[in-house]
Amino acid sequence: MTTTTPSRSTGIGRVLIAVYGLLALAATGRSVFQLLDDFDKAPVAYSLSALAAVVYIVATVALIAPGAVWYRVAWITISFELLGVLVVGLLSIFDPILFPAKTVWSGFGAGYGYVPLVLPILGMLWLYRRRPRPVALETAGRTTGTEV
């Protein structure tokens, strides 16, 4: 079965990529600063912050890079972000001692205008709209003989 993965870097997807890039930059900048400045204050929160920053970078790349493999990487990283913002958001409310300091995900991303909460959802909608599709029927029919 031949499928084609439409480009994810067209139209409004470009704005999505820009915002992802921005969040990757913001998370990386803050996390580098936290790791250098006072890692001992909140090792769990800061390590998670650094992990989040790396995942945002990979997600940004996955949205830009073409092909089915990157499409899957985009789904994995964006799902991870949604999970992260939900779990850490809840934890930072119920267990503020574990997350004493601000991270990208604490308070459901409140420190970043809830962008970390909204962005994965928009990202998933975009990925769903640009999902790999079987090559159009007539084309597939014509090429059946040559395929294994």
Partner 1 sequence: MIEWFAYAQIAVALVAGLLAVALGLIGKRPADITMGATALVEVLLIVQIVISLLAPAFGNTATGSTLEFWVYLVSAALLPPLAIVWGLVDRTRWSTAVLGVASLAVAVMVYRMYQIWFVQVA
Binding site for partner 1 (CB under 8 A): 11-12, 14-15, 18-19, 22, 25-26, 29-30, 32-33, 36-37, 113
When the beta carbons of 27 and 88 are compared against partner 1, the nearer one is: 27
- Six-digit token string for 45: 């929160």
Q: Are 17 and 9 in contact (CB under 8 A)?
A: yes
Shortest distance (Å) from residue 148 CB to partner 1: 39
Residues with Cβ within 8 Å of residue 30, at least 6 apart in sequence: 49, 53, 104
Shortest distance (Å) from residue 115 CB to partner 1: 10
When the beta carbons of 19 and 135 are compared against partner 1, the nearer one is: 19
Shortest distance (Å) from residue 10 CB to partner 1: 8
Q: Taking phi first (over 0 means left), then psi (-120 to 50 degrees means alpha), and beta for anything else, what does residue 10 get?
A: beta
Closest CA to 56 of 116, 108, 99: 116
- Six-digit token string for 22: 């921005």
In this structure, the dihedral spanned by the alpha carbons of residues 47, 49, 55 and 57, taken in order and rounded to 10 degrees, is -120
Which residue bears the tokens 């779990």? Answer: 87
When the beta carbons of 14 and 133 are compared against partner 1, the nearer one is: 14
When the beta carbons of 32 and 69 are compared against partner 1, the nearer one is: 32
When the beta carbons of 118 and 135 are compared against partner 1, the nearer one is: 118
Shortest distance (Å) from residue 24 CB to partner 1: 11
Shortest distance (Å) from residue 15 CB to partner 1: 5
